[in-house]
Chain A
Amino acid sequence: MNITMTIILTILGLILFTAALFLLGLAYEWVNRKLLALLQNRVGPRWFQPLADIIKLLAKEEIVPKGVDSRLFIGLPIFALAGGLTAALYVPIAGIAPAFSFPGDLIVTIYLLSLLTMCMGLAGANTMDRFSLVGATRTLTQLFSYEAPFMLAMLGPAIVAKSWQISVVADYAASRWFILTQPIGFLVALIGLMGKLELPPFDAPEAHTEIVAGALTEYSGRGLALFRLGKDVELVIGLTLVAAFYLGGVANPLWFLVKTLALLLVLAGLQSLFARLRIDQTVGLWWRFGTLLVLVQLLVTFLLQRFIL
């Protein structure tokens, strides 16, 4: 009896958690779009627009194009979203302690976040459409360019906190603003997040003036809705991680909102200021500057840690 209750409660909790996360993700997407619109002197969407989009997409028929592996085609969006949702379990979203935690969950989270991108790349390669193929190539190329610096940037605070566990690092960072001691790491983490989310200027993989919608060109209906939800969840997780590691932690929901929204404003500003980078320029930027800078940062941190403190 007790075990069944626990199972039911866990499932209920998971469903509620997922629903709340979706709504939070959609709200953040709206904030991002609205801020971008305001920066461009436009009105922007109304508050329910992302939700309406998702509901509309979910209600639509999903068209499976000819010549694709239909199991993969249908399965990939689910995998992508599942990856994002699982990652959310390890992250202190909204200041609430993560549901699961174990030493080394930072690595798992970062890889789960990459799962979404991988799924998008695979989905593009699966559909055999020319725009999708080019998009998939670009998505994966971009993955290999920002992933290393983003991860290294996340490692900075972890090295200082001497732990691979998100909750431990977040607790350690709660009293120290790592943005002051590791500014380069913060910058790389934030811009890496933009690359991860394929926001402008890193939106070459879905540059619609060149390759229509990139890897997701053939997706419609449910698959597209799931991919978009996955991205929204990833946006929340990414912002939470950066805020928790670099901006003095997200101890309570209020601080969480203030810090993540402030980060979102910066992201929106960066999105509005730059022209899209070509894929070769993106790769060049990340490997020539991003990785190098963050390595220097890590080295300095490491040496200070080792010999001075």
Chain B
Amino acid sequence: MATSKVSETFVVPIGPQHPALKEPGHFEFTVDGEIVTNAYVRLGYAHRGIEKGAEGRNYIQSLYLTERICGICSHIHATAFALTVEKLAGVEAPPRAQAIRVLVAELERIHSHFLWLGVAAHESGFDTLFMYSWRDRETVMDILESLTGNRVNYSANVLGGVKFNVDNEQADAIRKGLEFLEKRAHHYLDVVINEAMFLQRTRGIGTMTRNQAEVMGAVGPTARASNVPRDVRVEAPYAAYKEYPINMVLDTRGDVEARFVVRIKELFECCRIIRQILDTLPPGELTTRVPRKLPEGEAVMRVEAPRGELFYFIRGNGSDKPDRLKVRTPSINNFTTVIKTAVGHQLADIPMILSGIDPCFSCNDRMVHIQNIHKHDENWMTWEELRRYGIEYYRRIRK
């Protein structure tokens, strides 16, 4: 009798609801014991229809819509949109506005990297580092709040400039905050490259060679940790980066540790640029006029978000609404690298590899059913209806 060996596949689903992912995304990891043999990704759980939604809104409203693509890197989305619109309209924001845009963008990068540091530490079970880095993140959030008036979704941009000015008092507060943050960043760098138990979870994990990173189109710190010199701020300086050049932070190792090191070292670079901007803030106007109706044409803009290259494409059709808005966020590029590098690793390393790219699911997902919330329609449940629905649902399950 012939015996046939049936190999069973054991699939561990991660997401859309899973404690490792604070945002919804779905990964399926086929494991053999603890070793991952295959990986698959499925997105769209937070798809809000922003690309389509922008087609029905005017440029000014779309600016705030794009700002809501991501809660962490909201400013850079709005900046990218504003820069694209300005390019399409053929105007340029005044130098002071451009410098303030860069200032907020770099503060936001500090905020994002500190946040990421905490999340990644938490994924590795190092909750103390998580708590401390998030405690320190409050400092930069306070700075942003005092600067713009909002804690998240700063709404610093308008089409053609920025909304607020930076006075000397605020500059001093920022400098003071930066001093603390820089000190902490040095401490975290020490922890990340020295803590033996932590290194066991990061060193040599998720290694991606330079060639792999280039082929898979990795962007941002993920690519730079694999020694790919890819930084839009250097390659194609936008806003005020021509006046305030950035030094690219590179690492040759390509593992999760290298990504930690690159991101933390970028914090120092952010602090340097912010100080430089505060010292030499160009005088002048804050806004310039952008026409409400934009000419027919296409404009492409690339900016460097905290997670990597952000790509904006706008096609105008002569009206006050964009004909097409295309946003390509950095995480979508980097997901490919997770899928490829996860294979062969242990299941326990997956959260580290996943968080190593600093994934942002809401950035990727941009579409779902949009409805006007003011008009009470049948898809919108009242609290009582929701409660009844819950009871009804539960009864059905019980049967």
Contact = CB atoms under 8 A, between A and B. Distances in A.
A43 to B, nearest CB: 11
Given A207-B348, A279-B34, A212 B197 contact: no
A2 interface: no
Interface in B263-296: none
Q: In the complex, which of the residues A41, A274, A281 has the most CB atoms of chain B within 10 Å of its own CB atom?
A: A274
B127 interface: yes
A211 B125 CA distance: 12
A278 B351 contact: no
B351 A209 contact: yes
Contacts of A107: none
A200 B121 CA distance: 13
A234 interface: no
- Looking at A41, A208, A211, A276, which has the most chain B CB atoms within 10 Å of its CB? A276
A275 B12 contact: no
Nearest to B17: A212
A210 B126 contact: no
A4 B93 CA distance: 93
B173 interface: no
A88 interface: no
Nearest to B128: A272
B19 A276 contact: no
Nearest to A213: B19
Nearest to A130: B12
A187 to B, nearest CB: 16
B348 A210 contact: yes
Contact of B19 (A42, A209, A274): A209
B216 interface: no
Interface string B129-152: 101100100000000000000000
Contact of A201 (B18, B122, B123, B125): B125
A275 B346 CA distance: 17
B12 A134 contact: yes
Contacts of B125: 200-201, 203, 207, 209, 275-276
Contacts of A42: 131
Nearest to B18: A212
Interface string B181-202: 0000000000000010110110
Contacts of B12: 130-131, 134, 211
B346 A274 contact: no
B299 to A, nearest CB: 41
B127 A200 contact: yes
Contact of B348 (A40, A131, A273, A278): A278
Contacts of A40: 127-128, 131-132
B348 A275 contact: no
Given A280-B34, A280-B346, A209 B197 contact: no
Contact of B126 (A41, A131, A204, A274): A274
Nearest to A209: B20
A130 B197 contact: no
A201 B124 CA distance: 10
Given A278-B200, A278-B201, A278-B346, A41 B135 contact: yes
Nearest to B125: A276
Interface in A152-180: none
A118 B307 CA distance: 44
A210 B121 contact: no
Contact of A275 (B10, B34, B124, B135): B124
Contact-residue bracket for chain A: 20 to 34
Contact of B347 (A210, A274, A276): A210
Contacts of A275: 121, 124-126, 129, 195, 197-198, 200-201
A273 B197 CA distance: 9
Contacts of A200: 125, 127
Counting chain A CB atoms within 10 Å of each CB, the highest count among B129, B135, B348 belongs to B348
B10 A130 contact: yes
Interface in A166-225: 200-201, 203-204, 207-212
A208 B122 CA distance: 10
B350 A210 contact: yes
B123 A273 contact: no
A274 B197 contact: yes
A110 interface: no
B131 A210 contact: no
Contacts of B200: 275, 277-278, 281
A41 B125 CA distance: 17
Contacts of B323: none
A220 to B, nearest CB: 14
Interface string A237-249: 0000000000000
A40 to B, nearest CB: 4
A199 to B, nearest CB: 11
Q: Among B13, B201, B350, which residue has the most Cβ atoms of chain A within 10 A?
A: B201
Contacts of B18: 212
25 contacts: A39-B128, A40-B127, A40-B132, A130-B10, A131-B12, A134-B34, A200-B125, A200-B127, A201-B125, A203-B125, A204-B348, A207-B125, A209-B20, A210-B347, A212-B18, A273-B128, A274-B197, A275-B121, A275-B129, A275-B197, A275-B201, A276-B124, A277-B200, A280-B34, A281-B200
Interface of A: 39-42, 130-131, 134, 200-201, 203-204, 207-212, 272-281
Interface of B: 10-13, 18-20, 34, 121-129, 131-132, 135, 195, 197-198, 200-201, 346-351
Given A130-B12, A275-B200, A279-B348, 9 more contacts: A200-B127, A207-B348, A209-B125, A210-B20, A211-B347, A212-B18, A274-B126, A275-B195, A276-B124
Q: Which 5 A-B pairs have the closest CB atoms?
A: A276-B125, A275-B126, A209-B20, A40-B131, A275-B198
